Amino acid sequence: MANHRITVLGAGFAGLSAIRHLRRRDPDADITLVAPRAELHYLPGIIWIPSGLRRREDLVLPLDNFLRRTRVRFHAAEVTGLRERGRIVLTTAGEVANDGLVIATGGRFIKKLPGIEHAITPCEGIAAAERIRDRLEAMEGGRIAVGFAGNPNEPQAMRGGPMFEFLFGIDQQLRREGRRERFDLTFFSPSPEPGNRLGPKAVQHLLGEMRRRGIATHLGHKMVRLEADKVVTEGGEIAADLILFMPGMTGNAWFDATDLPRSPGGLLRADAHCRVPEWERVVVAGDSGSFPGPDWMPKQAHMADLQAVAAATNLLADLRGERADATFAVELACIVDSLDQGTLIWRTPERNWLLPPNRVFHWAKRGFERRYLQRYR
């Protein structure tokens, strides 16, 4: 019997975790990774780029050794579509055939807000964080506005946590540099309770931290547009020399070239087993998917890893003709960092913890980064 041909789309957290699990469970599978570059970009670490605690080379990990060790073929290309109900992947460098498909190409940010080009969207990647670093270095003083919004059709499709980290990190950085008094910081969000997906205690803690640091807030007003020097909402304007804004997320552009089932927010519909309905042996993990679960289910690396294990387990079961019923735990695990300390937040359907700021949590976040990257060196 021929070895199963499995194609994994995406070299992010979900895709690489799926590869690790696939290889562990099936030593003989013929696995191909499709991605533009054989690199892992460790995006949780970009919060430390503006302060100089991290540089690009600290966060970009070549995957050559990992791919060689796990015996994975690398296909350098961007995905453009699918044929034959997922059995053929179309790419900018030709077609890739498979018996089973893992979709883990992440999401993209919604750029429909008028004037959004005037803002930096931090989680777009390392280059965005470097722009923030360079802008802060060039500013002698001024007004900085930091905020985020969601996808109105997909409550899960947002990434607000890093914006609190950029906000508190910039505040702490300016204090270290002895120039905080020359800057006005404002946090804005259409939500009257920003951070509510982290839990009720988190909202009060985050807003209290903003008050303690002298950060103004502009909350609960629908956004209208961004301009070069201001944020305009239905509740007024925020003057700003630098705008950091994280919009909600939606599906990859290449999804539009397929018949893959979509959620109202544009992500790929998935069941509790990470399978794409009515698409045989096609699974999805991470930011690409819309999964059943609570509205606060996070779009973060930890959740992507959990989904990737379930997706890989069920794909292998389908390929073997076995029962595919693996599910994933819904867990939000977050350390909101502020350069020298961090706040630990943990949420499951049964409980919600918040442990107040502590230097130990800052170092724990740095230690987790080191251990995580070691898997792929």
Q: In the predicted model, what is the mean pLDDT of residues 238-247?
A: 98
Sheet holding 282-284, edge to edge: 72-76, 30-35, 5-9, 100-103, 282-284
**Which pLDDT tens digit goes with each residue over 65-114?**
999 999 999 999 999 999 999 999 999 999 999 999 999 999 999 999 99
pLDDT reading at 4 higher than 70: yes
Name the band, by pLDDT with cuts 50, 70 and 90, for residue 159.
Answer: confident
Phi-psi region of 345 (alpha: psi -120 to 50; beta: other; left: phi over 0): beta
Class (C level, CATH) for 111-248: alpha beta
Q: CB–CB of 285/299 below 8 Å?
A: no
Amino acid 105: pLDDT:
98
- Domain-by-domain residue ranges, the chain? 5-107+251-320, 111-248
Place of tokens 């724990």: 364
**CA distances, 263 to each of 79, 153, 255 (Å):** 20, 8, 12
pLDDT reading at 1 higher than 80: no
List the CATH code of the domain at 5-107+251-320. Answer: 3.50.50.60
Instruction: Taking the CA atoms of 49, 54, 55 and 56 in sequence, report the sign of the dihedral they define.
Output: negative
